[in-house]
DNA sequence: AGGGTATGGTAAT
DNA sequence: TTACCCTACCCTC
């Protein structure tokens, strides 16, 4: 389940469960034995999350870098733990909780220069307070690749994966094939806010939640006063389900979901809600203005 | 038992 | 663009 929200949630959970106490660290699978040996008996003070990367700040300036990749998983159990089952790359045992890591792409100590290079490869992460949305806007302006490929590029925006790509573009009514630079700055800012909100909700609720602004939906009951357009609802609709990702039919309109490969992954899009060439409806001032949303990750 | 699939990313072609 | 890596789970045979 690893997109940005999962990674930030893990950082919070691991600080809560394991920080500031000496940990028993081992590598049952045997692929990170040296890393485990160095960290064994040490404590970490905090965990920094950048996009899909985790950085555990251990004593003595030691940093453990973890990237889950597609298959990586953390599992938690009460201490003392059961004997490891399966391919456990790293086991961290604290006084109350034990966390096992399996399937990760990266699980190793990194030096400051390597970390610098890593962070240089990442664009702004909407879940971080220090994120600058204008870097995202500027990056889109520079790219002729489809918007659906651009937001999967971690250098453009860090933390978005295939689910959020499908869902965010759908919520904003954007055709994934639209060239990134044709989105326009205002709509790019709206898209940033959509993704920031979805990611933040995902951290809080431990799952992907989409929130659709229903303002453009005509009110079915009642009649519009003469001379005025149809009345619209201003309420926001929360969906604890995806709208298009891995669905056959669109959750909003019921029409068939279209799929095709883009940037090495399958795109899911609703041609009715996201017509060809669409950059989405004009942003309303309420959505386009104001400071970028932030999340207190205290 | 074996195959297909998955929310990711890199390196080679 | 493709090949390949990492692991678990679910389906079919």
Q: What is the pLDDT of residues A174-189, one digit of tens each?
A: 999 999 999 999 999 9
What's chain A's average pLDDT?
Answer: 86
Please report the pLDDT score of residue A242 as a whole number.
86
User: Could you tell me which residue, A238 or A276, shows the higher pLDDT?
Assistant: A276
Q: Supply the pLDDT for residue A239.
A: 56
The answer to whether residue A26 scores a pLDDT higher than 60 is yes
Please give the share of chain A, as a percent, with pLDDT higher than 70: 84
Element (H, E) at A144: none
Q: What is the mean pLDDT of residues A199-227?
A: 56
Whole-angstrom distance, CA of residue A57 vs CA of residue A53: 13
CA A258 to C1' C3, whole Å = 27
A224 has pLDDT over 90: no
Q: Is the CB of A170 under 7 A from strand B?
A: no
**A265 is a catalytic site residue:** yes
Structural domains in chain A?
A: 4-120 (3.20.190.10), 133-288 (1.10.8.50)
Residue A72 CB closer than 7 angstroms to strand B? Answer: no
Residue A234 clears pLDDT 60, i.e. is over it:
no
Which residue has better confidence, A68 or A232?
A68
Say what the pLDDT of residue A297 is.
28
Token readout for A218 is 């005509």
Under the banding of pLDDT at 50, 70 and 90, the label for residue A122 is: very high
Name the catalytic one among A2, A28, A146, A283: A2
Query: What is the pLDDT, as a whole number, of residue A281?
Result: 80
Band the pLDDT of A210: cuts 50, 70, 90: low
Angstrom distance, A69 CA to C4 C1': 13
Measured in degrees and rounded to the nearest 5, phi and psi for residue A140 equal -65, -40
Alpha helices in chain A (DSSP H): 4-18, 33-39, 112-120, 133-142, 147-150, 162-171, 185-205, 285-288
Across residues A230-250, what is the average pLDDT?
A: 66
Query: pLDDT tens digits for A55-108?
Result: 999 999 999 999 999 999 999 999 999 999 989 999 999 999 999 999 999 999
Question: What phi and psi values does residue A135 have, to the nearest 5 degrees?
Answer: -65, -40
- b/e code A81-115 from CB counts within 10 Å (16+ = b): beebeeebbbbbbbeebbbbbbbbeebbbbeeeeb
Which pLDDT score, from 0 to 100, does residue A65 have?
97
Q: How far is A160 from A169, CA to CA, in rounded Å?
A: 11
């Amino acid at each position: 389940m690893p997109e940005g929200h999962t990674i930030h949630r893990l950082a919070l959970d691991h600080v809560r469960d394991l920080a500031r106490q000496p940990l028993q660290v081992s590598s049952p699978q045997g692929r990170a034995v040296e890393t485990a040996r160095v960290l064994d008996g040490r404590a970490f003070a905090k965990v920094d999350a950048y996009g899909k990367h985790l950085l555990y700040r251990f004593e003595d300036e030691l940093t453990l870098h973890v990237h889950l990749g597609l298959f990586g998983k953390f599992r938690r159990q009460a201490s003392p733990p059961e004997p490891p089952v399966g391919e456990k790359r790293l086991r961290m045992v604290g006084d109350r909780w034990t966390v096992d890591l399996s399937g990760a792409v990266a699980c190793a100590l990194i030096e400051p220069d390597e970390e610098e290079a890593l962070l240089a490869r990442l664009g702004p992460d909407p879940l971080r307070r220090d994120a600058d949305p204008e870097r995202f806007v500027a990056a889109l302006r520079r790219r002729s690749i489809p918007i659906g490929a651009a937001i999967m590029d971690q250098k453009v925006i860090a933390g978005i994966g295939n689910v959020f790509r499908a869902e965010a573009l759908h919520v904003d009514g954007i055709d994934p094939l639209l060239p990134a630079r044709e989105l326009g700055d205002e709509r790019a800012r709206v898209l940033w806010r959509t993704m920031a909100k979805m990611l933040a909700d995902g951290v809080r609720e431990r799952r992907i939640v989409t929130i659709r602004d229903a303002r453009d939906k005509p009110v079915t009951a009642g009649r519009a006063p003469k001379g005025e357009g149809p009345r619209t609802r201003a309420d926001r609709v929360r969906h604890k389900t995806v709208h298009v990702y891995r669905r056959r039919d669109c959750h909003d309109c019921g029409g068939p979901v279209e799929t095709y490969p883009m940037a090495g992954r399958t795109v899911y899009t609703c041609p009715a809600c996201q017509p060809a060439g669409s950059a989405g409806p004009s942003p309303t001032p309420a959505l386009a203005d104001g400071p970028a949303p932030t999340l207190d990750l205290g």
